[in-house]
Structure 1
Amino acid sequence: MKWRPWPHSLAGQMVWILFIGVTLALISSAAIHLYDRNEAMVQMEGLQAAQRFASIVQVMEPLTPAERAKLAPILKTSNQFVALVDAKDAPQIDHSTEDARAGRLKRLIARYLEGEHPILVEVLPTSTEQHPMQGMRQMMRHRHHMAGGGPLFNHGFSYIARVQLSDGRWLAYHNHLPEEAFIWPWHLLWSILILIVVVTALAFLAVRLVTRPLARLAGAARALGHDLRSPPLDQSGSREVREVVTAFNAMQARIVQHVQERSAMLAAVSHDLHTPLTRMRLRVEMLKEAKLRDALLGNLTEMENMTESAMDYIQGSEGMEEVRLTDLPSLLEELEESWREIGQDVTVQCCDLSPFPLMPRSFRRALSNLIQNGVKYGKRVEVKATMHGERLRISVADQGPGIPEDQMERMLRPFKRLDASRNSKTGGTGLGLSIVDSIVQAHGGKLTMRNRPEGGLEVILTISKKAFLS
């Protein structure tokens, strides 16, 4: 099965759009949060470090060189180093390329120092892997100035601040914000994932609530195509859904009324025509000239057949008959016997067919029309019925000339006939296959035709119980 990134259903498209939108929004907000978090931590740690360094300067300033040398190692911690550097060994910093963070830290240290002291601040690279040569030079220079004070960390925010004391010596202070302050907050990632899952699940439920009435309406529309007497939809749900359901039920009622009025009109016309046709038949039968009498009787018979066929077509397309569980073997055997009684070669094969929901009178008419066509054009007719799960398949095959492939679809239209059949012997109304097709469609089935390799036409009726009853 080919995977499609964009779903075809309305529910899938809405859920997909909400999922992408929520994910992008959460990722964007998380990125902004992490950036602000890092900035806030750097500023807070920088403020605390500036206060500590200013306090160290204030303590070191009044002491003698010997006292300063004793105090410097005591101030050493895991994250800070303090050392005294002679003025001749102090490095020169290019202020034109001063880092913005170095400038902020320099201003913070100056704020907490009393009096004017020359201040130099140098921000060190955060990773020697990203800046191998520069990081090595910084590390060597730091160790030189700190007199072996310890290694630099490769993560976090590290800097060296220098303040010149009153005696000209420089007090160097190296501070490193702990690595733990910059560890990726995995709990934030889990929170985002949980939020995405919860929002997507709620969006799916909301979309299902919105699209479920559409699926119910589509099912009702399919049922209406099979059975005009299907019950109206329950008017439940939101206001918009109830309005759509009300309009659909009203449309169904108007369609049923229109079909009933049309059927009543055709039945009345058929009934009204039956009386004058009967009178004409009686008068024609009284004619003495046999040739004229037979010709007129043939015309009357054709008119009666056309009237009956038109009524059969209307009734079959309406699907107004009640659906019942039908004993298919009995129905097929009755058809076989009725045709054999009039001397036609019709055989039926059916294997263990369980009762199937059908409109029995209409379905019998469809099979009779197919057998009649087969007998008329193919002499011998074979009917075979099989059941595949809940799917019924009935084939009616004859040994006639068949139908050209390009004419098969045309033959299912009302009042359409092949040119070869338009004669007094085999001609008809052109409604036989149309009636069968309309009846099969009313059962939710499908009619297909094919020319057999050994000769003759095979018409296949396929009806699904699930599709019909839905």
Structure 2
Amino acid sequence: MMRLWTRSLAAQFIGFMLLALALSQGIGFLVSWDERGQALKAAAKSDFMSRAASLAQLLETMPPELRDDILRGISTAYTRYWVSGDDPGDAAAWRQTAWSKLVTPLPSLAFPGKKPSAPREEPLHDPGPMAASAAPTASWWDLPAGVWPLPRPARMLYLDDANGLGLSAQLDGGSWLNIAYAKQMGGAMWTSQTAVTLAITAIVLSVIGVFVARGITKPMRRLAVAAEALGRGEAVTPLPEAGPDDIRNTAEAFNRMQERLQRFVEDRTRMLAAIGHDLRTPLTSLRLRAEFVADAEEREKMLATIAEVQKMTEATLAFARAEATVETTRAVDLSALVESLCDDLAELGQDVTFVEGPRIGYRCRADALRRVVRNLVENAVRYGERARVSLARTAEGIDIVVEDDGPGIPDAAREQVFAPFYRLEDSRNAETGGVGLGLSIARTIARHHGGDIILRNLPHGLRATISLPLLG
């Protein structure tokens, strides 16, 4: 889960949306819960007094001997009614009487022709905590005329400091109607309906978050793929410049950058080709002039220097032509490509051995990569007597390894050998070869593929590794 959170923008987006939902719902519950409870208490109190007034009017129309049966019949699990002949008087004593009646189970009603059953047990609200928390100093207060609709006096008190109410109203005969009410109002804050509502909201937000995150990440993935391909020197189709301003501006900037880079490379390649081409004429003129030098030894030195410069010029032209040629990237069997190269060089009499390994497929510019491997293998044979070539998969990508049995390269010159026209004269073999562009071109091609060439000395020889990245 942690890996998904750190790597997926969609997971982070959905997670933050759900967190915002939970926080907003929690704050909403906290803000509205007290208001809801107060509203429920006010409504319950109003309904309580309305029912009490209606019951008082009903009892005044009924014979006194039926009053007790009526009051027992309309009693509920959280309401008790009784009639007393005296003024309710002391509030604490009346409150104690009310709690004792609330905890007494209601008897079953007897119907004609049916045997009375045992008293019915009802799920009464436990009044113990309420009675314990009742304010002992709370006393009666008289209900004003605007609140109590009947002309006879009525009094009210709280049974506890939460939801319990008590009312005593005088009837027309001088007796008093007493009502005790104790019911938990407001209910639980977290209910099944709340959970279902919150779950549905979370699912809807998650679905919306997935679509929104995909709309953001799809152009980003497309940009990442295009940037990786451009870094490997591939021809990249311009990105579509559509969508919101931020995404469109990013695509436009990438397309402009790609166009400028391509123009820069083309200008540089064209300049190198022009320089190399223009040097041919003065070199030819110098060669002709050198032929007329009378001193044979001096003439040979001049001709050797001119030949060296001409060789460097031809190598520069070849490099420029190779840079100007755009090769299509395609999927190849990398193992077969390297093995066939080793077989070709072995048939030419060079001591080259290919170590069999797993078959590895790879997307690359095959001709350019073949040129890199050929350069390293020929160098290994020329300076290290023989070449052993192998392929291996690593955690980071694919390694093409070329080993030889030569003297190696001094640590101080390990990076210098990749500089253009740099030649190592005294570290390997006395015979020099090439003009010093081979390794430079090889590393340029490897880096265009997103990789690199790494040189490392062995106890007896040198290991050159072409490290290629895994492609997404």
Give the TM-score, by structure 1 length: 0.72
Task: Please list, as runs of the form range in 1=range in 2, the aligned pairs for 1:207-356 lying within 5 A after superposition.
Answer: 207-237=213-243, 241-242=247-248, 244-281=250-287, 283-284=289-290, 289=295, 291-311=297-317, 320-323=326-329, 325=332, 328=337, 329-338=339-348, 340=349, 345-350=351-356
Task: Give the letter aligned to residue 232 of structure 1.
Answer: P
Of structures 1 and 2, the one scoring higher in RCO (CA 8 A, sep 6+) is 1
Distance in 2 between the 1:183 and 1:25 partners?
Answer: 15
Task: Please list, as runs of the form range in 1=range in 2, the aligned pairs for 1:82-161 lying within 5 A after superposition.
Answer: 82-84=81-83, 86-87=86-87, 90-92=90-92, 111-115=147-151, 117=153, 119-124=155-160, 157-161=163-167
Post-superposition offset of 1:307: 3.2
Over the matched positions of the two proteins, sequence identity in percent amounts to 30
Deviations 1:55-94 (A, max 9, x none): 344556799987766765455333311234555873349x
Post-superposition offset of 1:272: 1.8
Distance in 2 between the 1:162 and 1:404 partners?
Answer: 109
Distance in 1 between the 2:175 and 2:446 partners?
Answer: 106
8 Å contact 1:440–1:447 — kept in the other structure? Answer: yes
Identify the match of residue 177 of structure 1 among 175, 178, 183.
Answer: 183
Post-superposition offset of 1:229: 2.8
Distance change >3 Å, CA 187–CA 287, structure 1 → 2:
same
Look up the SS of the partner of 2:16 in the other structure.
helix
Identify the match of residue 466 of structure 2 among 458, 461, 464.
Answer: 461
Task: Give the letter aligned to residue 91 of structure 1.
Answer: A
Post-superposition offset of 1:331: 2.8
8 Å contact 2:342–2:353 — kept in the other structure? Answer: no
Give the aligned partner of residue 142 of structure 1: none
Task: Please list, as runs of the form range in 1=range in 2, the aligned pairs for 1:354-373 lying within 5 A after superposition.
Answer: 358-373=364-379
8 Å contact 1:228–1:319 — kept in the other structure? Answer: no
Task: Give the letter aligned to residue 235 of structure 2.
Answer: R
Look up the SS of the partner of 1:440 in the other structure.
helix
Deviates more, 1:292-301 or 1:408-417: 408-417
Task: Give the letter aligned to residue 214 of structure 1.
Answer: M
8 Å contact 1:312–1:435 — kept in the other structure? Answer: no
Could you tell me which runs of 5 or more consecutive residues in structure 1 were left unpaired when the two chains were aligned. Answer: 127-156
8 Å contact 2:409–2:427 — kept in the other structure? Answer: no
Post-superposition offset of 1:425: 5.0
Look up the SS of the partner of 2:147 in the other structure.
helix
Post-superposition offset of 1:198: 0.7
Post-superposition offset of 1:122: 1.7
Deviations 1:183-226 (A, max 9, x none): 85311221111111111211220121133122212211221222
Post-superposition offset of 1:174: 0.8
Distance in 2 between the 1:40 and 1:47 partners?
Answer: 11
Distance change >3 Å, CA 441–CA 171, structure 1 → 2:
same
Give the aligned partner of residue 42 of structure 2: 43
Look up the SS of the partner of 1:124 in the other structure.
coil
Task: Please list, as runs of the form range in 1=range in 2, the aligned pairs for 1:359-438 lying within 5 A after superposition.
Answer: 359-385=365-391, 393-403=399-409, 408=414, 411-412=417-418, 414=420, 421=427, 426=432, 431-438=437-444
Deviations 1:118-154 (A, max 9, x none): 624123366xxxxxxxxxxxxxxxxxxxxxxxxxxxx
Task: Give the letter aligned to residue 461 of structure 1.
Answer: I
Distance in 2 between the 1:414 and 1:455 partners?
Answer: 27
Post-superposition offset of 1:436: 1.3
Post-superposition offset of 1:404: 5.2
Give the TM-score, by structure 2 length: 0.72
Task: Give the letter aligned to residue 466 of structure 2.
Answer: L
8 Å contact 2:387–2:402 — kept in the other structure? Answer: yes
Distance change >3 Å, CA 290–CA 449, structure 1 → 2:
same
Distance in 2 between the 1:409 and 1:172 partners?
Answer: 103
Q: Structure 1 or 2: larger helix share?
A: 1
Distance change >3 Å, CA 67–CA 394, structure 1 → 2:
closer
Task: Give the letter aligned to residue 117 of structure 1.
Answer: P
Q: Establish whether residue 202 from structure 1 lines up as the match of residue 202 from structure 2.
A: no
Instruction: Report how many aligned residue pairs link the two structures.
Output: 427
Could you tell me which runs of 5 or more consecutive residues in structure 2 were left unpaired when the two chains were aligned. Answer: 94-132
Distance change >3 Å, CA 98–CA 186, structure 1 → 2:
same
Look up the SS of the partner of 1:450 in the other structure.
strand
Distance in 2 between the 1:442 and 1:432 partners?
Answer: 15
Look up the SS of the partner of 1:266 in the other structure.
helix
Cα RMSD after superposing both structures:
4.6
Post-superposition offset of 1:113: 4.2
Distance in 1 between the 2:67 and 2:368 partners?
Answer: 113
Deviates more, 1:418-427 or 1:183-192: 418-427
Post-superposition offset of 1:264: 1.9
8 Å contact 1:228–1:256 — kept in the other structure? Answer: no
Post-superposition offset of 1:267: 1.1
